Amino acid sequence: MAVTNKKLQRRQRIKKSIRRKLSGTSERPRLSVYKSNKAIYAQIINDEVGNTMAHATSLEINTANATIDIAKEVGKKLAEKAIANGISQVVFDRGGYIYHGKVKALAEGAREGGLKF
C-alpha cells in the first residue's frame, strides 16, 4: 500500500510543478489529461474564467478498458469538439503522467484531429 501512496505523491508533486509553469487562457486553453485504471479523460479548460470548454472520455466510446488505440480516439473526439467550439490551439497539461503510452496516444490523436500544441 505504501508504494502506491509514494507513486501518487510523486505524481502530485510533478503535477504541481507543471501547473505552476502553465495555465490556460481564452486564446490558448489548457488540455488536461487524467487516467484511471479503466478509463482516460481529457478536457480543455480556460483557467482565467475557470470553466471547461470541451471534454472527452473513453467512457463515451463504450469500452471496458482504455487502450492506446482508445486513447487516440479520445484525442480525436476532443479535437472535433474543440474545433466546433472555435478552439484551434491549446497548452498540453500531461497531469504528472509520463509522456508515453496512453498520454502520448491521446496527444497524437488530438494533433491528428487538428489541435495545435
- Percent share of the chain, pLDDT over 90: 69
Query: Which of the pair, 62 or 80, is modelled with greater confidence?
Result: 80
- Summarize pLDDT for 33-59 with one digit per residue, the tens: 999 999 999 999 999 999 999 999 999
Q: If you average pLDDT over residues 27-36, what whole number do you get?
A: 94
Residues 6+ apart with CB under 8 A from 33: 40, 41, 42, 93, 94, 95, 97, 103, 106
Q: What CATH number is given to the structural domain containing 84?
A: 3.30.420.100
Q: How confident is the model at residue 1 (pLDDT cuts 50, 70, 90)?
A: very low
Q: Please give the pLDDT value at position 83.
A: 96
Count of domains for the chain = 1
Q: How confident is the model at residue 71 (pLDDT cuts 50, 70, 90)?
A: very high
pTM for this entry: 0.87
Parent domain of 62: 2-113
Q: If you average pLDDT over residues 94-111, what whole number do you get?
A: 95
